[in-house]
Chains A and B, each alone.
Chain A
Amino acid sequence: MSKAPAPAPASVSAPALRLTGDFHHAGRPLFTGLDLAIADRGWTCLLGPSGVGKSTVLRLLAGLDTGGTFDGDISASDGAPVATRIAFMAQSDLLAPWLDVVGNVTLGARLRGEAPDLVRARALIERVGLAGHVDKRPASLSGGMRQRVALARVLMEDRPIVLLDEPFAALDARTRAEMQELAFEVLEGRTVLLVTHDPAEAVRLGHHLFILSEDGLTRVDVPASPPIRAVDAPETMEMQARLFHALRGRPA
């Protein structure tokens, strides 16, 4: 990976978030009495198996359709609305196939009827390591490069809250590690919620860590060292093993 310039901190102060309440889907509860506190300016990882409502939590925060009914409250520590201040990145890169890299990165501006800031877009594309690929369409990029474009798009939106829905899950091990490092570096200073089913990823990146399972939400203490944590540090490996067992239904 090329040496990226030091990331500028988020231009808006990033608030802490809290989501409390019940969620029902097709008449059945998906979660009840949930109380998720997301700390400001750092990575909170929400770890859990498929089907327990991790993505639903994220979609609720983003103000997107969930196909169910939510009875509860979503708030930010600064009292301002949440859904209008988030940027979103998913497992699928969600790039428009008809736009080139710079077109995709500046999509948000055009959707809001603003003039896109091309200079800034190019700088951000360079920062995620795609300097020579500005004019390429997504079809000619690899999966890892496409997620880099998606990350540049998140940076372009410059929102204080960033919601990540397993954005690295479809990448190969090496690319995933590189993307984790890059995302961690460039999203510094923002409030980040990472939804993942990978214990290793959660241990590596989380300032705070929750497990969401059928039984509800459990806070897990993370190792004392700050993220990004070394994959082979004893405490990381020990933690990873504990999470692995917790995910399989044994005591954490």
Chain B
Amino acid sequence: MTSSTRLTPLQRLRDALVAVVAALSLWQAIVWLSGVPPFILPGPWRVAVTLADNIGLIADHALITIAEVLIGLVFGALLGAATALHLMVSPAARRIALPIMVFSQAVPVFALAPLLTLWLGYGMASKIAMALLIIYFPVVSTFYDGLRRTDPGLLDLARTMGATPTRTLLHIRLPAGLPAFGSGLRLAAVYAPIGAVIGEWVGASNGLGYLMLLANGRAKTDLMFASLFVLAAFAVALYGLVSVATRRMTSWSRESLDTL
């Protein structure tokens, strides 16, 4: 929190670059020194060449995965926010829906993937549903927590000012809960790609997850790594984007300054 430990964006970028170059060098060194065949572990250079050679193929599949993730993220966030608001205003919803939601978390979402594929088919719909399902609960629970933890003093003040419950929700609880909603969205940005790729592994004819399985089955390990790299790059970019957007949305909050 102190200014002496806070790095400028440029310093952080420099540190990140150093870490990446070090990791890549270590990887290349292991490949050279151990003499592992490329179908077990290709070196970073070979992966880069494969990526360049197959950029069209990888891009086609990546676009599918990205679309699944983004659609799942938007709908999951909207549905999660609506649920949290509903839980906040309706005691009946809290009594009935909250235990069900907590209990439903005992079911591993991964175990639902084959079912979703069975019901929604091999296309994008089942992957969007996976991404949505996997982020729904974190969004609901963080946002609902934020709405509930509004400073009771502010709520007292609103009451002495003659506020209606709806306007209190709109003008006090909702903005007070936004930083928590932001952390829910950041979690969602991390989980949504996982959901989509698991969906693709279980059954798909498109997408980076499908391409990775295909490459793996044909011992094209370099293609698998190249796909994995694109997936990771997209996931990091998505997180960064959501992170910046949510922090800008709640720039007044100390909480949002402390999160990465």
Residues in chain A within 8 A of chain B (CB atoms): 59, 62-65, 83-84, 86-88, 90, 92, 94, 96-98, 107-108, 110-113, 137, 139, 157
**B164 contacts the other chain (Cβ, under 8 Å)?**
yes
CB of A113 within 8 A of CB of B164, answer: yes
B136-185 contacts to A (CB < 8 Å): 151, 153-154, 156-164, 167-168, 171-172, 175-176, 178
Question: How would you classify the secondary structure of chain B's contact residues: helix, strand, loop or mixed?
Answer: helix
- A88–B171 CA distance with the chains assembled, in angstroms: 18
Question: How would you classify the secondary structure of chain A's contact residues: helix, strand, loop or mixed?
Answer: mixed
**B221 contacts the other chain (Cβ, under 8 Å)?**
no
Partner of A63, one of B160, B163, B172, B252: B160
* Known contacts A97-B253, A111-B172, then 16 further A-B pairs from the complex at CB < 8 Å, ordered by chain A residue: A59-B156, A62-B156, A63-B160, A83-B160, A88-B156, A94-B154, A96-B176, A98-B250, A107-B161, A111-B158, A111-B163, A111-B164, A112-B161, A112-B162, A137-B252, A157-B161
Residues of B within 8 A of A97 (CB): 252-253
B232 to chain A, nearest CB (A): 35
Q: Which of B159, B167, B175 has the most CB of A within 10 A?
A: B159
Residues of A within 8 A of B167 (CB): 110-113
**B254 contacts the other chain (Cβ, under 8 Å)?**
yes
Interface size on B, residues (CB 8 A): 23
The residue of chain A having its C-beta at the shortest distance from the C-beta of B160 within the complex is A88
Contact sample, A vs B, 11 pairs, CB 8 Å cutoff: A64-B160, A94-B151, A94-B153, A94-B154, A108-B161, A111-B161, A111-B162, A111-B168, A112-B162, A112-B164, A157-B161
Q: What 3 A-B pairs come out closest when comparing CB atoms?
A: A111-B163, A108-B161, A88-B160
- A65–B171 CA distance with the chains assembled, in angstroms: 21
Residues of B within 8 A of A157 (CB): 161
Partner of A96, one of B162, B175, B250: B175
Residues of B within 8 A of A113 (CB): 164, 167
CB of B160 within 8 A of CB of A87, answer: yes
A96 to chain B, nearest CB (A): 6
CB of A88 within 8 A of CB of B157, answer: yes
CB of B159 within 8 A of CB of A90, answer: no
- A87–B156 CA distance with the chains assembled, in angstroms: 11
The residue of chain B having its C-beta at the shortest distance from the C-beta of A91 within the complex is B153
Q: A98-B178, A107-B171, A112-B167 are in contact. Are A64 and B159 (CB under 8 A)?
A: yes
Residues of B within 8 A of A112 (CB): 161-164, 167
A164 to chain B, nearest CB (A): 13
Residues of B within 8 A of A107 (CB): 157-158, 161, 171
Partner of B162, one of A84, A90, A137: A84
The residue of chain B having its C-beta at the shortest distance from the C-beta of A93 within the complex is B153
Residues of B within 8 A of A65 (CB): 156
Residues of B within 8 A of A62 (CB): 156, 160
B219-258 contacts to A (CB < 8 Å): 250, 252-254
- A97–B252 CA distance with the chains assembled, in angstroms: 6
The residue of chain B having its C-beta at the shortest distance from the C-beta of A159 within the complex is B160
